[in-house]
Structure 1
């Protein structure tokens, strides 16, 4: 018998290597039990070794994708990833304001794993002004939080201060992810405007982490689509992303992806 399950929309760039971007988002959303919809903003050329190039799609193509989904589907959550240009940021912000879609989670993708710039400076300013104030949750990692605040972040106290600072950009809540935190790697900090909440976890030192930020944000958005509270959604998604890293895949000759469907492979080997 047909089922009704939440629909989660990812608006992001395409990663042909499959670990990050739209491809990673779709896997994470589906692995967490929802159905994934997608709008591609940028086509990239990359693999496990290097980010080669990117091509931003024309605005009318992005608008057409978003409008076609809106006229047919009831969307329960949205995850935002790579937007690349100021024009794309503004285009997506205008669409989301009109559509008033719930549970907007923004992963502010600024650089690739090899530090290639993915978001131009004028796009960053537009992200702050036009898009972040619409979000239920903003999920910067430590390097991204340092860009937002202009300060070095190495300790839990500095991570807490950064979360409070970034919250002032207008989001409902900010989760500073601690995968790059020197003092306590893997320790995430949530600030919702009222209190700080710590999410500790097992830090897994693995080279196969391509796309973890994309997938973590997508998993959180999916759990919100199921009606979980923000803290519950983060807790559930953090467990999921930790296990995907623990079961990372050695694909290619560089930094491989996590295993979005680790539970299926583990079940098949029991």
Structure 2
């Protein structure tokens, strides 16, 4: 029997189920990967916002990762909400020996409603400690602006930001353009030499909670299965488009996407 693809999420818990480890595990399952988790923080969330953040100890985070990888192992892993510099360093220390593991870094910094999910002193730990271990990093425009100090208002500035982030040591940069204005959404993958762009229509909806988590989880699952990066990005992109398009419209605020979405 062929061994199932194994995917690990290292992220915060979202009590509303739309983002964080809940979204990641649902997405892993939908893509046929066996999902595991290391919880970095407990967040009190609903579609109306974030009402509390309770970080785990660095020891608890490190032990979760250590024991899962020591026993079950993983073909790919993703990080989401890491909260502070100490947790980021602990995560990097645990992942560093596993140089064959494909790591997706989703640099979660601010929640949809504006709540801060990454402390200010953690940016340096992220860029110097974690990004050099990553196969791909998946920033949206506000996150890319934070990582680079650049203003991003168009596709050309997205490309320049991708070059700047690549220079931090990450192998590939997946720039997500959903925060820019326009009837189309342009996402840009940069591998250090060439750009690969994906353009699709913008869906007008408020139900987009957890889109970054869900996209990066889909990408992680595909990489765990051995899918080449560009193909994995395209599949993850199609999935999140369908997940937004068919969102179940739950809650009174920013509702979750559809984690049952199906792509051809």
TM-score range, shorter chain: over 0.9
Shift of 1:263: 3.8
Q: TM-score, normalised by structure 2?
A: 0.96
Contact 2:123 / 2:147 at 8 angstroms: preserved in 1?
no
Deviates more, 1:149-158 or 1:231-240: 149-158
1:27-65 superposed Cα distances (whole Å, 9 cap, x missing partner): 111111111110000000111001111011011111221
1:71-93 superposed Cα distances (whole Å, 9 cap, x missing partner): 21131100110000110000000
Contact 2:172 / 2:191 at 8 angstroms: preserved in 1?
yes
Shift of 1:259: 0.7
Map residues 229-240 of structure 1 onto 2, 5 A cutoff. Answer: 229-240=228-239
In 1, distance between residues paired with 2:183 and 2:177? 7
In 1, distance between residues paired with 2:55 and 2:100? 24
In 1, distance between residues paired with 2:166 and 2:238? 24
Equivalent position SS for 2:36: strand
Contact 1:78 / 1:101 at 8 angstroms: preserved in 2?
no
Shift of 1:101: 4.7
Taking structure 1 as reference, are residues 101 and 81 closer, same or farther at Cα in structure 2, changes over 3 Å only? farther
More strand by share: 2
Contact 2:239 / 2:262 at 8 angstroms: preserved in 1?
no
Taking structure 1 as reference, are residues 96 and 184 closer, same or farther at Cα in structure 2, changes over 3 Å only? farther
Alignment pair present for 1:212 and 2:211: yes
In 2, distance between residues paired with 1:229 and 1:180? 27
Question: Which structure 2 residue ranges, 5 or more long, are not aligned?
Answer: none
In 1, distance between residues paired with 2:254 and 2:183? 23
Shift of 1:128: 0.5
Alignment pair present for 1:154 and 2:153: yes
In 1, distance between residues paired with 2:178 and 2:216? 14
Shift of 1:183: 4.8
Deviates more, 1:254-263 or 1:96-105: 96-105
Alignment pair present for 1:168 and 2:173: no
* Correspondence for 2:179: 180
1:165-200 superposed Cα distances (whole Å, 9 cap, x missing partner): 111111001011011122564210111011111111
Question: Which structure 1 residue ranges, 5 or more long, are not aligned?
Answer: 265-270
* Correspondence for 1:37: 36
* Correspondence for 1:68: 67
Map residues 50-129 of structure 1 onto 2, 5 A cutoff. Answer: 50-129=49-128
Q: TM-score, normalised by structure 1?
A: 0.94
Cα RMSD after superposing both structures: 1.4
1:220-262 superposed Cα distances (whole Å, 9 cap, x missing partner): 1111111111100000110011000001121111111001103
- After the TM superposition, which parts of structure 1 deviate over 3 Å for at least 4 consecutive aligned residues? none
In 2, distance between residues paired with 1:189 and 1:31? 25
* Correspondence for 1:145: 144
In 1, distance between residues paired with 2:177 and 2:243? 17
